[in-house]
Amino acid sequence: MHPDVQALLAVQRDDLEIYRLESKLAALEPRLASLEKERTRAAHELERATGAVAAEESRHREAMQRVETSRQSAERGQRAYESVTSPREAAAAMSQLDFAKRATEESERDAAQILGRIGEMRRHVADLQAALADVEHRQSDARAALDTERAEIEGQIADARAKREATARGVPRALLSRYDRVRTRRRAETIFPLRGPSCSACDTAIPTQRRAAMAATGSLEMCEGCGALLYAGD
Ligand SMILES: [Zn+2]
């Protein structure tokens, strides 16, 4: 085998190791995403429940406002009743007073009911807060493990790239850049030996003349069948 091809095969081994490590790193993403999804779900549930409490509190303020308004109306009715000068005015004032008292009671009932609901909803919020804290607590170990694993793989990738760079210095520039162009497209094994007269990746036959040139000069030929770069094996 031509020494340039031998040197290029060493580069390819380094590249395949980098690809393997990069795939390992990429495989961490779905694990992180599933942790993130679980946490987000718990956080959204809490957010919705907190928003519902705020809406209910605003309804309670409105009900209390209605209580106040009808109380004032009842007081005015009371004063009007105390200063009537005819039975007809007395009847009218009494009717206004009754109406205002009923309205006050109704608003008070509303306000009390809403307050009861708010109490329940706050307990629900507290439960959801505890659930979110629980998720975060359970996840902290998993996240720490993922971080460690990621840092480890990133370190290995940095080492593998440095090694590749050193190995690549042993390959003539033109040969290396031809290999790199094809490799970048394939992102996998790129150079294959001939097996007999054919490409060992896909079995497409290579004409005799081209094979003779490959053996003599160490040149690479692109396989017309699969696009791999071929070298003479012996
Ligand atoms: Zn092929």
Query: pLDDT tens digits for 65-121?
Result: 999 999 999 998 889 888 889 999 899 889 989 999 999 999 999 999 999 999 999
Residue 10 Cα to ligand 1 midpoint, Å, equals 21
Element (H, E) at 194: strand 191-195
Continuous H helices in the chain: 3-26, 28-82, 87-168, 173-186, 208-217
> What percent of the chain has a predicted confidence (pLDDT) above 70?
100
The whole-number pLDDT of residue 234 equals: 65
Residue 43 Cα to ligand 1 midpoint, Å, equals 53
The whole-number pLDDT of residue 177 equals: 96
Residue 215 has pLDDT above 90, yes or no: no
Residue 186 Cα to ligand 1 midpoint, Å, equals 13
The whole-number pLDDT of residue 80 equals: 86
Average pLDDT, the chain: 94
Residue 214 has pLDDT above 90, yes or no: no
Task: Report the alpha-carbon distance of residue 73 to residue 75 in Å, rounded.
Answer: 5
Give the mean model confidence (pLDDT) for residues 125-135.
Answer: 97
Which residues surround the ion ligand 1 when the cut-off is CB under 5 Å?
Answer: 199, 201-202, 204, 223, 225-226, 228
* pLDDT band of 213, cuts 50, 70, 90: confident
Angle of helix 3-26 versus helix 28-82 axis, rounded to 10: 20
Residue 157 Cα to ligand 1 midpoint, Å, equals 29
A 10 A CB-CB count for 151 gives 10
